Amino acid sequence: MKEILRQGKSTSKIIESFMAEHNLKLDEFKFDVVEEGTGGFLNLFGGKPTKVMFSIPDVSDQISKFTKGVINKLNVQYSDVKITNKDKTYFVEILGVQDPGFLIGKDARLLDSIQHLINQMINKYERKQIKLRIDVDGYRQRRRDALMDKVSAIAEKVKQREKSITLEPLPASNRRLVHQFIEKDKDLRTMTIGDGEYKRVVILPSSGGNDRPRRPRNNNRPNGQRNNNRSNRPPRARNERQDGDDKNSKADRTSRLDKPIRPIKSENSKRTERTPRSPRPPRQQRSAAPKKAQRTAAPKSEK
């Protein structure tokens, strides 16, 4: 418990100001009036203020309260909750869990969710950023030791094969451990790939940007020459011709361009000859053409 002493003119005003300062309700803290104040002579001289001692839960007590409340909601049996503070980080150890596999979950995802939930609750309650780590019966420490052993073996393989190796998807805390472990070795480096909360870490040699090592440079050769088979050949004159170069000469190219291009005929391109059609008359002439006279029947003669 954390004790705080406040003083003022009256008890009610001291309590109201304390609740507003710490954002607390009346049932979330305890108080004790240490000394009643007096008004003095004519409320002007010789007066004494009222002193009140407040007792509020510590951060560790509040974390323990939130943790126990969440575990009880999950109907998980446990014996105790141990909290330690080290380097401004609160480590919460849940001891004596009957079913640790249920509380941990696959790849510790349920345990990470519980840790995130309690961390948000305590940060909102304390109005400041607090780092929190929750473990169940030493699971995270065992997981960390196993991960470091695996990363050490993979690092040796990368050095021998000189090829990169990609790890399985890991949370941010485990990826940080891998990066810190590989940073100690100057022959290796790491990079992160993927999206989302669980990403992959690639361990690769630090000799080059790809898996293949760089070829050593030949420092004995003069500047401007390439280290290949053609460097030993004598320089070739610009107007010198060799066998087979006549086809690529300028005269041959111009002569080939001057020749007429013959069209390529195929069997599908042949068309049957058709008789020419007579031109159609203009539209005005067609419209002006006389219509055929309609025959009218002659009236029958009356007999």
User: pLDDT, tens digit, for every residue of 138-177?
Assistant: 998 899 999 999 999 999 999 999 999 999 999 888 999 9
Query: How many domains is the chain partitioned into structurally?
Result: 3
Determine, yes or no, domain membership for 254. no
Query: Which of residues 151, 170, 205 is at a domain's end?
Result: 205
* Predicted local confidence at residue 193, as pLDDT: 94
* Predicted local confidence at residue 53, as pLDDT: 87
Determine, yes or no, domain membership for 223. no
Query: Which of residues 137, 167, 188 is at a domain's end?
Result: 137
Q: Which two tokens stand for residue 70?
A: 């969440």
pLDDT one-digit tens code per residue, 230-288:
545 555 555 444 445 544 555 555 555 555 556 555 555 555 555 666 667 666 655 44
Determine, yes or no, domain membership for 269. no
- Do 52 and 26 lie in one domain? The reply is yes
- Do 69 and 125 lie in one domain? The reply is yes
- Do 201 and 145 lie in one domain? The reply is yes
pTM of the predicted model, to two decimals? 0.53
Packing angle, helices 139-161 and 172-183, rounded to 10 = 50
Determine, yes or no, domain membership for 251. no
- Do 116 and 145 lie in one domain? The reply is no
pLDDT band at 216; cut points 50, 70, 90: very low
* Predicted local confidence at residue 219, as pLDDT: 47
* Predicted local confidence at residue 218, as pLDDT: 46
Determine, yes or no, domain membership for 282. no
* Predicted local confidence at residue 54, as pLDDT: 85
Quick one: average pLDDT of 93-100?
91
Phi, psi for residue 167 in degrees, rounded to 5: -85, 170
Quick one: average pLDDT of 106-127?
88
- Do 79 and 133 lie in one domain? The reply is yes
Please provide the average confidence, as pLDDT, over all residues in the chain: 76
- Which residues span the domain enclosing 200? 141-205
pLDDT band at 209; cut points 50, 70, 90: very low
Q: Which two tokens stand for residue 180?
A: 């810190």
Determine, yes or no, domain membership for 284. no
Quick one: average pLDDT of 89-94?
92
* Predicted local confidence at residue 66, as pLDDT: 92
* Predicted local confidence at residue 225, as pLDDT: 47
Determine, yes or no, domain membership for 146. yes
Does 201 have pLDDT greater than 50? yes
Determine, yes or no, domain membership for 157. yes
Residue 52 or residue 215, greater confidence = 52
Ranges 70-74, 112-116, 263-267: which has the least confidence: 263-267
